[in-house]
Amino acid sequence: MLDNHAVNINHEVHEWLISFNQAISPKISKEASIDLLYKLFFNDSHWRDLLALTWKIQTISGNKNIIPKIYESIVAVQARSFSIDIKRTLPREVKRADKKVIEVILTFETEFGKCEGIVRLYNDIDGDGKLKAWNFLTALNELQDKETKDKNLYNHNIKGPNWLDLRNEDKSYNDRDPEVIIVGCGQAGLSIAARLRQQNVDTLVIDKHERIGDNWRKRYHSLKLHNQVHVNHLPYMPFPSTWPTYLPKDKLAGWFEYYAESMELNVWTSTTFIDADYDEIESKWNVKIKMFDGSIKVMRPKHIVMAIGVSSVPNRAKIPGTDNFNGELIHSSDYKNGKNYKGKNVLVFGTGTSAHDVAQDLYVHGANVKIIQRSPSMIVNVEPSAQLPYKLYSEGPSTEDCDLITITSPLAVMKKTHQLLTEETTKLDKSLLDKLKNVGFKLDYGEDNTGWQFKYLTRGGGYYFNVGASDLIADGKIKVIQFLDISDFTASGIKMKSGREFQVDLMITATGYKGQEHMVEKFFGKFISSKIGPIWGFDENTQELRNMWMQTKQPGLWFLAGSLAQCRIFSKFLALQIKAFQKGILK
């Protein structure tokens, strides 16, 4: 039973929804509609649309920009019947970006499908005292008359082919080309493949590795995920509740194999994407791939989804002076474990996640490790600080509701939220950060103090979740050297400006990875690469990540990347767009 406060909240929310539905009613004039809508939104409000009203993924800020566009969009798609979704988390008071709001999960419909959304409201104490909208999210959930995979596909004809026969035939592509080819079989590739499979879109995933999951399995020996298991589920199949809080890489890799089999995904491993050119007349790609046996095959899908990660190509740029070094020099992507380096002297260049993890692994295997810092980095203790952005996922709402709540915040609100989180984490981690400063480690907290998440969203790195390496540095067990203090590289190591020399057996460059633009030019050529433009990082106009999970300027070419949570969430919207093209809704 709801208490009086909850009843009052529901009453106020219902009043706002009655007014909103009245404002979008075709029974009143455009002028009256727009006038009423202005009264329902704050001047500094934000509207984020994920395909529901505009078939775009975009954010619009300021009610002078929002109201005309939202009215025009609602009319165009015949949006109607906005109401509280009583099957979801009910309206409740929460804090978002330090602002106390009532958060409401909505359901509504358009001519194209069933939709969901969120509105965040608070009282206009400087006006009429009634609730107004501050954040408004509208998101397509499913298409009308959606086509789904036939669950009764496999009959009980004893003489006919069994399930395995049909699966093998389906994934052989002997008699057809897929409608979609996905390049990459990590969390991005598997997520979008599963979404498309459930939409009955014929999809083939190709991956250069021998086994599904090798993109995790082949990484360094000690690797674990640094965020908690309940945040990282793939679509449709959550991890077992018995699983560890932080997933080891090999456990995750094994799950990827199990997931692909369970979701009946068509995957070709040991298959390399060579290149592709677009047939403008037929609106299809000519895709050249190298098969496991070395043969070359050409396929003609309508869509290609690049799911190769935010940063997939090691940046092997040489550090000036290292040509003088005659010892072993490798990139961190080539590092496996430190068991062969006991008692050896190792330099690790970089202070991001890979550098810290490699340095820690070497130390525990008995190596003498020094870490070279070339620019400041952000350090965040893995618990509790690094988990603060995911606190919502342990507060009670379902994963589905948490995902929707997470994507409601527009860019400006996200920035404010992460500035507050950064302020909190620096207080929680003060003891460690002070020790790091004392040993000469240089710290930063992101642009405008927006913290590690914005570092990830804008550049893909520049931070470390401390699972022990920072403590080793703070305690002097792993020495930190500033790159500017190095005078020369010698055949056997480095010489400091102080005159001191260090003998080195191994140098590891943790110099990061190149962005996806590099792979686009390699696979599709300079023309398409320049046509699409930058990938990842924020677009100032749309306030969204550039060219991610949305239509690009190149027809039939899509990108999906990011964390497991990002891939789970946004694969739905990418799949809906491809399905809309298949149904002729989008052209």
Is the confidence at residue 342, as pLDDT, over 50?
A: yes
Please state the φ and ψ torsions of residue 311, each to the nearest 5 degrees: -135, 100
Yes or no: say if 432 and 471 are a contact pair by the CB < 8 Å rule: yes
Give the residue numbers spanning the domain of 433: 316-511
Task: Say yes or no: 134 and 190 in one domain.
Answer: no
CA torsion through residues 444, 447, 453, 456, sign: negative
Domain shared by 203 and 90, yes or no = no
Question: 150 lies in a domain?
Answer: no
Give the C-alpha separation, 464 to 245, whole Å. 18
Report pLDDT for 3.
59
Same domain (yes/no): 450, 571:
no
| Residue 154: pLDDT band with limits 50, 70, 90 | low
Q: In terms of domains, do 209 and 322 share one?
A: no
Q: Which of 342, 335, 337, 340 is nearest to 366 (CA)?
A: 342
Q: What is the CATH number of the domain that holds 292?
A: 3.50.50.60
Q: Does one domain contain both 8 and 127? A: yes
Tokens of 564: 């497991």
Give per-residue pLDDT as tens, 120-131.
999 999 888 899
Whether 400 and 450 share a structural domain: yes
Is the CA virtual torsion 398, 404, 410, 411 positive or negative?
Answer: positive
301 within a domain of the structure (yes/no): yes
* DSSP letter for each residue of 244-271: -SS-BHHHHHHHHHHHHHHTT-EEE-S-
Write the pLDDT tens digit of every residue in 444-463.
Answer: 999 999 999 999 898 888 89
- Domain finish residue from 468, 488, 511: 511
Q: Of the candidates 143, 162, 189, which is a domain's last residue?
A: 143
Say what the pTM is: 0.92
Same domain, 322 and 465: yes
Please check whether residues 493 and 352 belong to one and the same domain: yes
Domain count within the chain: 3
Same domain, 406 and 533: no
Across 53-62, 65-74, 222-231, 422-431, least confident range: 222-231
Judge if 72 and 114 occupy the same domain: yes
- Is 299 in the same domain as 373? no
Residue 245 lies in a domain: yes
Same-domain pairing of 296 and 390: no
3-class secondary structure, 511 = coil
Mean pLDDT along residues 349-358: 93
164 domain-assigned? no
